[in-house]
Amino acid sequence: MSDREIYSHSDGTRYCKNGKRYSQNQRNKKKKWSGKKKAVVAICIILAIVLAAAAGVFIYIKAALGQMARVELPQTNPELGITSEAAARAENSQVTNIALFGVDSRNDDDVGRSDALMILSIDRKHGKIKLTSIARDTYVSVDGYGQTKINHAYAYGGPELAIKTINENFSLDVKDFVTVNFSQLAEIIDYVGGVTINVTEEERVVANKYVDNLNKLGIPTDYITETGDIRLTGGQAVAYARNRETGSDTARTSRQREILSAMFDEVKKLNITQYPGLVSMILSESKTSLSDESILEIGTWAVASGASMVQESLPNDQCGASGQMIDGVWYFVYDLNNAANILHQFIYEEE
């Protein structure tokens, strides 16, 4: 039995088992300590629940990543078209460049080709996520196939040849990629609650031309009835991004970047418990060369750092680009060396 057990004497005096007199102060101290102890236990329980929830989310995401289609790429710089100059530039920076290829398996016109081509640059030095789109009609040299459109590289040799083409023509150090099926974009945008986009009247009219087709493909989409800064559903955002009539190809890639940037802003507002569902949606139609650890590290940094997203496109006004018909095919033709310098300045913020 404990020394703290209390016994009453015949005269009413109370004693502990050890013979010491039990005072009211002792009783008060005991009650006060019990209160503190309860508070500590409660805090420990809450912490345990939070840690268990976080661990559950982590385990779920790790499991989802394990289901993602993986593609192994060559590991040497020459095989990926990375020059010694590009490798040295990357080594002296805190930037990771990743190729993003957007494909749409539901669009017969784009089977096997990258419908969208972007460079995702994770700039830890400046706390920025940089998104650069390259017009898919850009006239470049593709190893083994001569001069052609840059998006043909993906059709000819998959992500490996597409990455090599980017590196050789723009003097970059891309070593990894992510390919996303844009057919999933509507579902993802709906999951985050839609995106706010500034839509002009011309863009509204053209986007509505895609609505019936999207509904036939099983993507519920209402017609866009307003202009200005409006909230678009997933289907409406996809219709907006598919617009090939308003402006040039650079205007189209600008709309695609606008959608991705707006979606990124919405993702940052999500509760941590919503991340597993989002990750599952994205990964179900994606493939990559990135490891689980790299994806988790980049994702954690992007959310925790509060990084801002900035955008660029090639060609831009400084490239002197022009549309030319070559052997009966329309291309975007511009000085690739000049474009590479513009791209390096944007990505690395070189002095």
Q: What is the mean pLDDT of residues 115-128?
A: 90
Q: What is the reported pTM?
A: 0.70
Burial of 180 (0-12, 13-18, 19+ CB in 10 A): buried
Q: What is the mean pLDDT of residues 164-169?
A: 97
Task: Please tell me whether residues 178 and 52 are part of one structural domain.
Answer: no
Task: Please tell me whether residues 186 and 149 are part of one structural domain.
Answer: yes
Task: Please tell me whether residues 297 and 235 are part of one structural domain.
Answer: yes
Alpha carbon of 253 to those of 147, 258, 259: distances in Å? 22, 8, 10
**182 vs 92, higher pLDDT:** 92
Task: Please tell me whether residues 153 and 204 are part of one structural domain.
Answer: yes
In the three-class reduction of DSSP (H, G, I as helix; E, B as strand; rest coil), residue 43 is classed as: helix
**Last residue in a domain, options 46, 65, 84:** 65
Burial of 127 (0-12, 13-18, 19+ CB in 10 A): exposed
Q: What is the mean pLDDT of residues 88-105?
A: 86
**Last residue in a domain, options 42, 65, 88:** 65
CATH code of the domain covering residue 259: 3.40.630.190
142, two tokens: 């593709």
Where residue 2 falls (left for φ over 0; alpha for ψ -120 to 50; beta otherwise) is: beta
Residues 258-292: tens digit of each pLDDT: 898 899 889 888 887 787 788 777 777 688 998 88
Task: Please tell me whether residues 71 and 117 are part of one structural domain.
Answer: yes
Q: Which domain holds residue 12?
A: 6-65
339, two tokens: 């474009």
What backbone phi and psi angles, to 5 degrees, belong to 40?
-65, -45
Contact (Cβ atoms closer than 8 angstroms) between residue 210 and residue 182: no
- What is the chain's Cα-based Rg? 29
Question: Is residue 17's pLDDT more than 80?
Answer: no
Q: What is the mean pLDDT of residues 191-200?
A: 94
Within its chain, how far is the Cα of 273 from the centroid? 17
> Which pLDDT band holds residue 340 (cuts at 50, 70, 90)?
very high
Task: Please tell me whether residues 313 and 337 are part of one structural domain.
Answer: yes
In sign, the C-alpha dihedral spanning 82, 154, 340, 123 is: negative
pLDDT of residue 120: 93
